[in-house]
A and B are shown apart, each in its own frame.
Chain A
C-alpha cells in the first residue's frame, strides 16, 4: 500500500523579475515500509517536494496524500505521523541535547514523562549520552546532525522524511549516518530520502526516483536504472595518443557498439556483453597490434552515468552549494 501519493505537484517561486517552477508536475508514490531515494542536483526540486509532503509548503497545483490524509486539508493529522530532518540541523543551540528532545517530544504531544524517557533512549541510540546535558552550541556538525535526526524520531513516526541527511558531513560521519538510517529502515520505517549523492541513493534506497527541473524523469531500482543506460562496458586507456584510431577499430569489433574516445583521459570505451573473458580478447588483440595499454577494465555503469544519460548534464551542477548549506 502506498503511504505517499502525489500527482501533478506544481510549485512556483516568484521573485521580482522571474518565476521559477521549482516543481513542474511531479508524480510520486512510496510504498509502506520501503525507502525511496529522491535523487537530483541542487535546484531540481527535491527539498520543495519534501517541504510540500511534510506540510510546510502548499503546492500551487496538484494533490498529495500522506498516510491517507490530504496534505492541504488534513495537514495536522499528517504531522502526527511524520518525522522530518532537514539539511539544516534544526535544533535549538541554546538548549542541551536532552532539553531539545524533551521539547520536541512534548510538542509532538507526548506526555512529559514519556518524552523524557524517549529522549534518554534516543541519546543513547545516537551516542550522545555524554553530551546530553551540554548546550548544543558546543556540538560538532556530526553531533548536531545526529541530534536533528533523533528529534525527528522522538514520536516514533512511521514515516520519515530525510532531506539530504549527510550533506556537509565528513566521510566518517556520513558512514555513521548511513548505519543509523539502515537500522531505522530495518525497524520498518517508511523513508523518503533526498540526496545529491548517487552513492548514497544506491546504498540506502530500495527505489530511486531521479528528479530534474521539478519532474521525475526516471524511476526504478538502482539496477534497473543502470540497465537503462546499458550494461557493462570495456574501458581502455591507451598510452600513445596516435594509436587511438586503431584502438577504436579493434574495440568496435569486440564490443556491441561503436567505441568512443575521450580526449582528456585517453580513454576508449565500448559497450560489451561478454563479461570478463572479453578483456582477454582485448588484451590479446591490442598486443598483436602493438598498442600499449595503461589501464583496462570492465566497468558497470554508475548512477552518475545514469544521470548523465537521462538528463544530458552531470548530476552535481554546483558541488559547492550543498556544502555551504
Chain B
C-alpha cells in the first residue's frame, strides 16, 4: 500500500494555505450552529440587556458618576466588554461538548491541520461576537448611550473589542480542552470569568476597593478595555487614576491581547494534539 492510493488533496497538506482552508471550514461549521441554535445568541443578548437594566435602574441611582454624565453612557462600554468575556465561556462549553460527543476524535483522525479546529473556532467567535455587538450597540442607543466622537473612533473601539474577543476565545478553547466534561466547564467558567468581569471598573469605581485589590482591578484586561472604549468614544470615564493602566488603557489592552494569544494558543494546540480520554 502506498501513500498515494487514496483520492488526493485539493491543497497539498501541511502548507499554510491548506491550514487556512481547514480553519475556514471549521469556522463555517461553528457559524452554522448560530442560526440552528438561535437560543444561544438570543440569550447572550438578553443576558447583556438584563445587566444593563439591572445596573441602570437598580444600582445606577446609587452609583454617582463623578463629573456628571449619564450612567448608561458610562455603563455600555463595560457591558460590551463583559459580553465578550462571557462569550469565551460559551467557547469553553462548546469545546468540551465537541470532545464529549466524539467529533474532536474524528477531526483528529483526519489529515487536516492540527491548528484548524482551534483557529476555526476562534475565527467563528470573532464573527459571532461582532454580530452580538451590533445588536447590543443598537440596544445601547435606546437606553441613551452614544459615541460622542467620530466614525474612526467607533471603528477603532469595535476593532479593539474584536481583538479582545479573539484573545479571550483562546482562553475559552484552552479551558474547554482542559476540563473533563461540559458540566465542569460550566462550573469552571464562572470561577474564572466572574472575577475577570466584576473585579473591574465596569460597574463601580476601583477606588472603592481595598488598597491591595485596586491595582488588580486597574490592570484587569476588562477594565483596560472598558477604559479604552470610554476614552475612544467620549463616554464618561470618571474613575481614571494616575496609574499606568488608567493612563494608557489602549496600550495595556493590546499587550493583554498579545499575552493571551501567546500563552493560550500554544497551550491549547498542544493540549489538542495530546488529547486523550
On whether the beta carbons of A79 and B111 are closer than 8 Å, the reply is: yes
Chain B residues with Cβ below 8 Å from A1 are 1
Instruction: Tell me, yes or no, whether B271 is within 8 Å of chain A by CB.
Output: no
Query: Using a CB-CB cutoff of 8 Å, which residues 1-37 of chain B contact chain A?
Result: 1-3, 5-11, 13-14, 18, 21-22, 25-26, 28-29, 32-33, 36-37
Instruction: Tell me, yes or no, whether B103 is within 8 Å of chain A by CB.
Output: yes
Query: Using a CB-CB cutoff of 8 Å, which residues 17-76 of chain A contact chain B?
Result: 32, 51, 54-58, 67-69, 76
Instruction: Tell me, yes or no, whether A228 is within 8 Å of chain B by CB.
Output: no
On whether the beta carbons of A81 and B25 are closer than 8 Å, the reply is: no
Chain A residues with Cβ below 8 Å from B188 are none
A95-B29, A107-B112 known; A158 vs B1 contact (CB < 8 Å): yes
A51 nearest CB across to chain B (Å): 8
Of B7, B26, B28, B108, most buried by chain A (CB within 10 Å of CB) is B7
On whether the beta carbons of B111 and A114 are closer than 8 Å, the reply is: no
Count, A-B residue pairs, CB within 8 A: 109
On whether the beta carbons of B103 and A92 are closer than 8 Å, the reply is: yes
On whether the beta carbons of B14 and A76 are closer than 8 Å, the reply is: yes
Q: When chains A and B are docked, how far (Å) is the Cα of A318 from the Cα of B131?
A: 49
Pick the contact of A109: B2, B26, B36, B112 (CB < 8 A). Answer: B112
Q: When chains A and B are docked, how far (Å) is the Cα of A82 from the Cα of B105?
A: 13
A277 nearest CB across to chain B (Å): 50
A166 nearest CB across to chain B (Å): 16
Query: Using a CB-CB cutoff of 8 Å, which residues 78-94 of chain A contact chain B?
Result: 79-82, 84, 86, 88-94
Q: When chains A and B are docked, how far (Å) is the Cα of A211 from the Cα of B142?
A: 67
Chain A residues with Cβ below 8 Å from B21 are 106
On whether the beta carbons of A56 and B109 are closer than 8 Å, the reply is: yes
A84-B109, A107-B107 known; A155 vs B102 contact (CB < 8 Å): no
Of A106, A110, A111, A112, most buried by chain B (CB within 10 Å of CB) is A106
Please give me the residue from chain B that is nearest to A83 by CB atom.
B109
Q: When chains A and B are docked, how far (Å) is the Cα of A111 from the Cα of B7?
A: 10
On whether the beta carbons of B3 and A86 are closer than 8 Å, the reply is: no
Instruction: Tell me, yes or no, whether A103 is within 8 Å of chain B by CB.
Output: yes
Instruction: Tell me, yes or no, whether A156 is within 8 Å of chain B by CB.
Output: yes
Pick the contact of B29: A82, A103, A110 (CB < 8 A). Answer: A103
On whether the beta carbons of A88 and B102 are closer than 8 Å, the reply is: yes
Chain B residues with Cβ below 8 Å from A89 are 102
Q: What number of A residues sit within 8 Å (CB to CB) of B? A: 46
Interface class of chain A by DSSP: loop
Please give me the residue from chain A that is nearest to B5 by CB atom.
A158
On whether the beta carbons of A109 and B102 are closer than 8 Å, the reply is: no
Instruction: Tell me, yes or no, whether A250 is within 8 Å of chain B by CB.
Output: no
Instruction: Tell me, yes or no, whether B58 is within 8 Å of chain A by CB.
Output: no
On whether the beta carbons of A158 and B6 are closer than 8 Å, the reply is: yes
Instruction: Tell me, yes or no, whether A272 is within 8 Å of chain B by CB.
Output: no
A3-B1, A107-B22, A114-B7 known; A90 vs B102 contact (CB < 8 Å): yes
B51 nearest CB across to chain A (Å): 28
On whether the beta carbons of A80 and B6 are closer than 8 Å, the reply is: yes
Query: Using a CB-CB cutoff of 8 Å, which residues 87-113 of chain B contact chain A?
Result: 101-103, 105-112
Instruction: Tell me, yes or no, whether A286 is within 8 Å of chain B by CB.
Output: no
On whether the beta carbons of B18 and A55 are closer than 8 Å, the reply is: no
Q: When chains A and B are docked, how far (Å) is the Cα of A92 from the Cα of B106?
A: 10
Q: When chains A and B are docked, how far (Å) is the Cα of A157 from the Cα of B5?
A: 9
User: 12 new A-B pairs (CB below 8 Å) besides A80-B111, A109-B111?
Assistant: A1-B1, A56-B105, A56-B109, A67-B1, A67-B3, A76-B111, A84-B106, A90-B101, A93-B101, A106-B21, A108-B112, A157-B6
26 A-B pairs in the complex with CB atoms less than 8 angstroms apart: A32-B1, A51-B105, A54-B109, A55-B108, A56-B275, A56-B276, A68-B2, A76-B111, A79-B111, A80-B13, A84-B105, A88-B102, A92-B29, A103-B25, A104-B110, A106-B25, A107-B25, A107-B26, A107-B110, A110-B7, A110-B9, A111-B10, A112-B10, A114-B7, A151-B106, A158-B1
Q: Chain A: residues with CB nearer than 8 A to chain B?
A: 1, 3, 32, 51, 54-58, 67-69, 76-77, 79-82, 84, 86, 88-95, 99, 103-104, 106-112, 114, 135, 151, 155-159
